[in-house]
Structure 1
Amino acid sequence: MASPTAHPSSSTSAPASFAVFDDDLDPAWLALLSEASALAVDTEAMGLVHGRDRLCLVQIADARDNVCCIRIARGQRLAPRLQKLMENPAIEKVFHFARFDVAALGEGLGIAVNPLFCTKVASRLARTYSSRHGLKEVVQELVGVELDKQAQSSDWGRVEELGEAQLAYAANDVRFLLPAYGRLQEILEREDRLELARRCFACIPVFSELDRRRFGSVFEH
């Protein structure tokens, strides 16, 4: 079902360990990642419309730079080990724009992510001196790493044929989230906004559910 693969090539150094899995984590990586207090998570899908555009890839990284990608097959509806990890209440799952990823995991695999932290929401609350809150800008300022986003609009549906550039892009999108998460927490705490941020994060599953049910604009003017 799964096997370690060569480190993806990128402009940054290779991760400490890197593996690609089909359908689900293996027991060894579930045990490894379950030791973390926080995990960086990202997803890739065929597009941005839940229900129409299927989930294709899930990427996870821990603070020790162990990174894996899980390829989700067309028609797949369950990933029990991944679900156990994402629903573990002792592990904070860190996303950038969690609203999309939480909806994608719920729609694609029936996963109810808990608890979570969104670096995009955190950036908007912490980095009020900036109008740029994309992952690339947040990571570049707070971590000092420039992400290569050239593979962002790839055909992720061809999961068995993903090339090195796509895997490097997918891996790097989670590798540097945890350092950014740490810096954002520091700023939020310094500015007395951390509790407000956590209250915002608690609302994200509701907005994700609204998106899945096509009510995403319910709070728009």
Structure 2
Amino acid sequence: MTFHLHQGDLPEGLDFGASVAIDTETMGLNPHRDRLCLVQLSSGNGICHLVQIPLCRPDRPHRAPRLQALLEDPAVLKIFHFARFDLGVLWHYLGINCQPVYCTKIAAKLTRTFTDRHGLKDLCKELLGVEISKQQQSSDWGAPQLNDEQLKYAASDVLHLHRLKEKFDEILAREGRTELARACYDFLPARAKLDLLGYEDPDIFAH
């Protein structure tokens, strides 16, 4: 594993190719309260770039033009695990409308109907034979200086998403659910914005 920490934005000249794996770290799970602290990206080559986001609020958003250009590039597929949360946070704090997207958690739920274990740690172990640690998941991501254990944990969340996507693409095709999955991915940016508006509960799709 190799990782590079950047402050505020990606450096010039990085090329992630046709697809990039992405994750975020925040102060908690409420986007209106818990700010975005870190964005992790990898092209699936074992190298992770981490962008530390300075203290900002939705009324005083931070701008990261190179990160935004990458995440809004229609020619680059963005791979997430539980994209619904990350898309909302990226929009709320950075004004980034991230498309197109792929979500390994949705792919897991569409294909692994024999289990309710769809967490990234479970998927990596069962599909890839890789053990990842979640020890730093609840640490202070807003600290000015992140320690090596935090950075290694954050990097591990994106280093395996490309391989998971390959596995799920095979299973989705086998089960005839590729197009259904794609339709779900396409809807995710709108679903994330509905969450930000408070439509998570009540769910407008409920009876």
Q: What is the TM-score of this pair, normalised by structure 2?
A: 0.94
Question: Following superposition of structure 1 onto structure 2, how do residues 1-221 of structure 1 map, counting pairs within 5 Å?
Answer: 14-15=1-2, 18-29=3-14, 32-33=15-16, 36-75=17-56, 76-158=61-143, 160-217=144-201, 218=203, 219-220=205-206
Task: Tell me how far 1:65 sits from its aligned partner.
Answer: 2.0
Give the fraction of aligned pairs with identical amino acids, expressed as a percent. Answer: 45
- Give ranges in structure 2 of 5+ residues lacking alignment: none
Asked whether the 8 Å contact 2:104–2:164 carries over to 1, the reply is yes
* Partner-residue secondary structure (3-state), 1:60: strand
* Partner-residue secondary structure (3-state), 1:67: strand
Q: 1:44 to 1:220 in 2, by over 3 A?
A: farther
Asked whether the 8 Å contact 1:38–1:94 carries over to 2, the reply is yes
**Structure 2 CA distance, aligned partners of 1:214 and 1:156?**
25
**Structure 2 CA distance, aligned partners of 1:63 and 1:28?**
18
Residue 5 of structure 1: aligned partner: none
Higher mean C-alpha deviation, range 164-173 or range 211-220? 211-220
Task: Tell me how far 1:59 sits from its aligned partner.
Answer: 0.1
Task: Tell me how far 1:28 sits from its aligned partner.
Answer: 2.3
**Structure 2 CA distance, aligned partners of 1:155 and 1:216?**
26
Provide, for residues 60-108 of structure 1, a one-character-per-residue CA deviation record: whole Å limited to 9, x for no partner.
0112222110000002521100000000111110000000000000001
Task: Tell me how far 1:205 sits from its aligned partner.
Answer: 1.0
Q: Which amino acid aligns with 2:108?
A: S
**Structure 2 CA distance, aligned partners of 1:215 and 1:198?**
23
**Structure 1 CA distance, aligned partners of 2:133 and 2:48?**
17
**Structure 1 CA distance, aligned partners of 2:45 and 2:127?**
18
**Structure 1 CA distance, aligned partners of 2:77 and 2:8?**
23
* Partner-residue secondary structure (3-state), 2:13: helix
**Structure 2 CA distance, aligned partners of 1:167 and 1:71?**
10
Task: Tell me how far 1:202 sits from its aligned partner.
Answer: 1.1
- Give ranges in structure 1 of 5+ residues lacking alignment: 1-13
Task: Tell me how far 1:203 sits from its aligned partner.
Answer: 1.2
Asked whether the 8 Å contact 2:26–2:37 carries over to 1, the reply is yes
Task: Tell me how far 1:220 sits from its aligned partner.
Answer: 4.8
Paired positions, count: 201
Asked whether the 8 Å contact 1:50–1:211 carries over to 2, the reply is no
Provide, for residues 40-73 of structure 1, a one-character-per-residue CA deviation record: whole Å limited to 9, x for no partner.
1000011111121110000001122221100000
